[in-house]
Amino acid sequence: MASNDEHGTSGVDVSRRTAVVGSGVSGLVAAHVLSRSSRVTLYEADDRAGGHAHTHDVALADGTVVPVDSGFIVHNNRTYPTLGWLFAELGVATQPTDMSMSVFSPAEGWQYAGGQGLRGIFADLRTSSRPAFLRMLVEVRRFHRAAQAFLEGDEPEVPLRDWLAQREFSDTFHRYFMTPLVAAVWSCEDDNALEYPARSLFTFLRHHGMLSVGGSPAWRTVVGGSRVYVDKVLERVADVRLTTPVVGISRRATGGVRIVDACGGSEDFDAVVVATHPQQALAMLPEPTQVQQRVLGAIEYSINQAVLHRDSSLLPTAPSARASWNYRLDGDAGVLVTYDLTRLMHLPSPAGERILVTLNGADRIDKAAVIAEMTYEHPLFDSRTVAAQQELSGCSDDTIAFAGAYHGWGFHEDGALSGLRAAGRIGGVW
């Protein structure tokens, strides 16, 4: 591992030792910032750093090997400013991508795509000739106006399900627009999608230009895959310890903290950033405060099984209805979302080959087409989570600070920003 001096940080105070627990984007940003002014030790339980920044080397049909992301894939310069700052500082190259989305129900004969103009909306004659579909398109415009008005007013927060019912949106709108949108963006089940607090959801949608037909930011992917930025950060961290789970973080009477790992190690540091999921963080604290117990304990996660594969039978049958994000509804079998990485990352496509990643659909994918299987976790957003977020700052101090995408909307930018703030809380300067 390269020393800090080799990367132009010769002003580091080697007498000050800080630790970062967790090497997802929050931990990586915190470690990057703290490495400027202290000697950093980065702990990671897994044998791979990066968390959702997960790049695979995939061999295509013609033998070409390409880097492919299966977790964090897209960002934009407008609503991901912290990540943009990090990429600029590290010299990470990015490229434009397509952020279209389709909805496909084979049993009910529905398929259309948004974000591709009229060609995608009217991709399938059977769908576009239905009066219910045409009424849904009108409802989308009404939804945009109603959500904007709700944000401008002072009505109390309510779950999305109740907000839609109060305004008498149709079942078709629920089933083929609103639920797919939320479930695909937050990688959650349909029932959880409808429990999302409406005001928080609409704030996110407006922030990302999604409460209007136009105005969305220009989305991008990392050239070479997200591991490019992960590796560049790790080069600048003094001490990286993979496969080293932390089991205890306790305060020392003389100041600082003592960190105990599952490998039998015990070391003292001046301060630590805990960049893990909140329940994991709680388990590391022998004596959490009442605030930490209440707040960190209130935030729950969903577990998603992800499959990297080549089975394009999961995509819509109409070519114009295929998109970057493809939400499929299969009756009682539930829903799944398939991301077209060939499209998103501008991969070569010999003989029409598609490289895809599907959430929660392993039983419907041709086993011979599977490349890799992963498990990812995403924060669940309900009224309890949103209330807990208002108290998160009270969990941290200048010795132990917490970070993670759960501090925001659960995305890479939220993780990056929380890592930046946590590093600042324990003395980091950027």
Q: Where are the domains of the chain?
A: 4-49+76-94+222-300+387-425, 96-221+301-379
Count CB neighbours of 26 within 10 A.
32
3-state secondary structure of 204: helix
- Contact, 37 vs 262, CB < 8 A? no
Contact between 32 and 231 (Cβ < 8 Å): no
**CB-based burial of residue 401 (10 Å sphere; 0-12 exposed, 13-18 middle, 19+ buried)?**
buried
CATH topology for the 96-221+301-379 domain? Polyamine Oxidase; Chain A, domain 2 (3.90.660)
Instruction: Enter the CATH code of domain 4-49+76-94+222-300+387-425.
Output: 3.50.50.60
Q: So what's the pLDDT on residue 4?
A: 42
CB atoms within 10 A of CB 390: 9
H-helix or E-strand containing 417? helix 412-425
Task: Strand 356-359: give its sheet, edge to edge.
Answer: 110-114, 101-105, 325-329, 335-340, 356-359, 301-309, 370-379
Measured CA to CA, the distance from residue 192 to residue 186 in angstroms comes to 10
Q: Angle, to 10 degrees, between the axis of helix 412-425 and the axis of helix 81-90?
A: 80
Contact 88, 111 (CB under 8 A): no
The two structure tokens encoding residue 351: 């003989």
The 3-state DSSP class for residue 141 equals: helix
Strand, coil or helix: what is 96? strand
Place of tokens 């499959």: 307
Task: Find tokens 């949108």 and name the residue.
Answer: 181
- Provide the token pair at 121: 């909306």
In this structure, what token pair is assigned to residue 394? 């009270």
Structure-token pair, residue 124: 């399938």
pLDDT in tens, the chain (430 residues): 334 444 444 567 778 999 999 999 999 999 999 999 999 999 999 999 999 999 999 999 999 999 999 999 999 999 999 999 999 999 999 999 998 999 999 989 999 999 899 999 999 999 999 999 999 999 999 999 999 999 999 999 999 999 999 999 999 999 999 999 988 888 777 777 888 899 999 998 998 888 887 778 999 999 999 999 999 999 999 999 999 999 999 999 999 999 999 999 999 999 999 999 999 999 999 999 999 999 999 999 988 899 999 999 999 999 999 999 999 998 666 668 999 999 999 999 998 999 999 998 899 999 999 999 999 999 988 889 999 999 999 999 999 999 999 999 999 999 999 999 999 999 998 7
Rounded-to-integer distance, Cα 305 and Cα 65, Å: 24
- Asked if residue 102 lies in contact with residue 329, where contact means CB atoms within 8 angstroms, the answer is no
Paired strand residues for 41 = 19, 239
Closest of 21, 13, 14, 4 to residue 257, by C-alpha? 21
pLDDT at 184: 83
Strands 370-379 and 301-309, how do they pair?
antiparallel
Identify the pLDDT of residue 2: 36
3-state DSSP assignment of residue 383: helix
Pairing of strands 239-241, 101-105: unpaired
* Pairing, β 356-359 against β 301-309: antiparallel
Identify the H or E element spanning 200.
Answer: helix 198-207
- The pTM assigned to this predicted structure is 0.92
Helix 25-34 and helix 412-425, axial crossing angle in degrees, nearest 10: 40
Contact 190, 183 (CB under 8 A): yes
State the pLDDT at residue 11: 61
At residue 217, the 3 state secondary structure works out as coil
Would you state the torsion angle of the CA atoms of residues 94, 98, 103, 107, taken in this order, to the nearest 10 degrees?
Answer: -90
Question: 370-379 and 75-76: which strand pairing?
Answer: unpaired
